[in-house]
Amino acid sequence: MNAQLVILDFGSQYTQLIARTVRELGVYCEIIPGTASSEKVLRSNPKAIILSGGAASVIGDDALRTHPAVMTSGLPLFGICYGMQLLADEFGGKVGGWARDAVSGSHGDAGGDGLREFGPAVVTIEKNVGPFSALAPNTDIHVWMSHGDKVTELPPGFVSVAKSNGSPIAAFANTERNIYGVQFHPEVHHTPRGKEILASFLFDCAKLERDWDSEGFIAQTIEGIKKTVPTGNVICGLSGGVDSTVAAVLVSRAIGDRLHCIFVDNGVLRLNETTFVMENLTKLGLNVTLVDASKRFLDELAGVTDPETKRKIIGRVFIEVFEEEAHRVEGAQYLVQGTLYPDVIESVSVVGKSAVIKSHHNVGGLIENMKLKLIEPLRELFKDEVRRVGTELGIPSELILRQPFPGPGLGIRCLGEVTEERLKKLRIADRIVTEEINRAGLNATLWQSFAVLLPVRSVGVMGDGRTYDETIAIRAVTSRDGMTADWYLLPEDVLRRMSSRIVNETDGVNRVVLDVTSKPPSTIEWE
């Protein structure tokens, strides 16, 4: 789909949030590195450009510059934070740095010192022009600031439209050229009126049309898939997760039973998972084959305790099983994958090679071996959009609102050896954690919540007898994307219920502990 709006990314942690907000407003947009060639930026024939924030400094050696042709394209431009400073610099204004020595790295509240601003601040809108038209002059709005540099001198032809304690030019406008900048972040929810400002830019200044909603996306995607695969079979691996389910339903709406879904029971699934998944997927009209390979996986895992070895075994056996099954599907040339937009966005900077913390398994090898081509119907979507599309497709909310579950499953939550007996304990504890989280209405608040079985035995007393049993750890985290996470303090009554149910209902567990570490320095999964 052609993007009417391009977001130039200068590395801000909020760039994806800008895109999601723009799309929520009904405009399809794409993120492109801010330093990309002008051909690339202008390829989709955009009608407007947003320049994101970023940690670089336009007056430093690390300045990230955009191609001059983009600046002189005549398109409506909207700069946010670094984006605003870049506009100021390019159009002949001045940007000043913050006094490093004076603040020595402290992150105080915004405003007041006239230096750096981090956090909440109040901005007074002085002129209601352009994107600020909806806000009357002298309106104070709460905003989120996160900047060191700021615009100190307006470029010719620009007027200042807002001020804060720390920034006399907190927003500027050149209505003739349709160019605007804000020092604060309108895309975050700490700027409650930010969405109005962005909407005014999109619809009043840039005259964009609403071209993006779930219904339109579904219709267009189904048409596209019909054209791509007019005949022949297509294969899809289902995990029971949101992405693969939504991807499969979309493809099946286009090609019906020519889509062959494969669901592998790898022996490390949650309690009653196969029944839950198979029932739901069949109800959705999918043509699914369940492959029970649990024994094969558990045989291969016997005696293995090293986390990376476990991951590699589960990954390898999955590919083997999937490939064998996929070969049964005659003449298949395509494989469906639930790749999402955040996985395909190019990043602005390549920061060295990062260490392998955990090897995630994917079906890359399969595609090469079988010479399959990919269908990725969710490539343009963010996770929240996938959920909306899924709901629109009639997928039940129990499936849509599921928390992420790792490919290696309970194998990496069963620390030590993975045996049937130990998995049984973990499944019961995991079910109790899930039930109590749902009962407390916390499922959607948490990124993930689960039980981990530790190979640590300790002494306990039950009735009159001594026990010497294993330990369950409870993990509950919030996160935006799984890259970082915060541990979540579950309410006392929830913890009490979980703890007493786990020791009472799980044979061979006599102690429950709580994981109170964030990521980093921990990871979400224990292995």
Q: Residue 35: exposed, middle, or buried by beta-carbon count in 10 A (0-12, 13-18, 19+)?
A: middle
Shortest distance in whole angstroms from residue 525 CB to ligand XMP: 3
Shortest distance in whole angstroms from residue 138 CB to ligand XMP: 46
Distant-in-sequence, close-in-space partners of 467: CB < 8 Å, separation ≥ 6: 459, 460, 461, 510
Shortest distance in whole angstroms from residue 430 CB to ligand XMP: 13
Which lies closer to ligand XMP via its Cβ, residue 29 or residue 313? Answer: 313
Which residue among 185, 205, 361, 414 is the active-site one? 185
Strand partners, 289: 262
Torsion on CA atoms 162, 170, 23, 237, rounded to nearest 10? -160
Which residue among 81, 205, 236, 261 is the active-site one? 81
Q: Is 223 a catalytic residue?
A: no
Q: Is 187 a catalytic residue?
A: yes
Shortest distance in whole angstroms from residue 217 CB to ligand XMP: 24
Measured from the Cβ of residue 91, the count of other Cβ atoms closer than 10 Å reads: 20
Give the side-chain half-sphere CA count within 13 A for 217. Answer: 25
Cα(442)–Cα(449) distance, rounded to whole angstroms? 9
Shortest distance in whole angstroms from residue 485 CB to ligand XMP: 7
Tokens linked to 419: 């045996």
Which lies closer to ligand XMP via its Cβ, residue 90 or residue 525? Answer: 525
Which lies closer to ligand XMP via its Cβ, residue 224 or residue 404? Answer: 404
Shortest distance in whole angstroms from residue 361 CB to ligand XMP: 5
Q: Which residues bind ligand XMP (CB under 6 A)?
A: 358, 360-361, 404, 406-408, 448, 482, 519, 523-525
Which lies closer to ligand XMP via its Cβ, residue 347 or residue 523? Answer: 523
Which lies closer to ligand XMP via its Cβ, residue 174 or residue 448? Answer: 448
Strand partners, 388: none
Q: Which long-range contacts (CB under 8 A, 24 or more apart) does 395-403 make?
A: 395/245, 395/246, 395/249, 395/284, 396/280, 398/280, 399/240, 399/242, 399/245, 399/280, 400/242, 401/443, 401/444, 402/240, 402/241, 402/242, 403/443, 403/446, 403/447, 403/448, 403/449
Tokens linked to 498: 């979980």
Which lies closer to ligand XMP via its Cβ, residue 353 or residue 466? Answer: 353
Cα(58)–Cα(277) distance, rounded to whole angstroms? 52
Residue owning tokens 């330990």: 471
Give the side-chain half-sphere CA count within 13 A for 202. Answer: 25
Catalytic residue IDs: 81, 185, 187
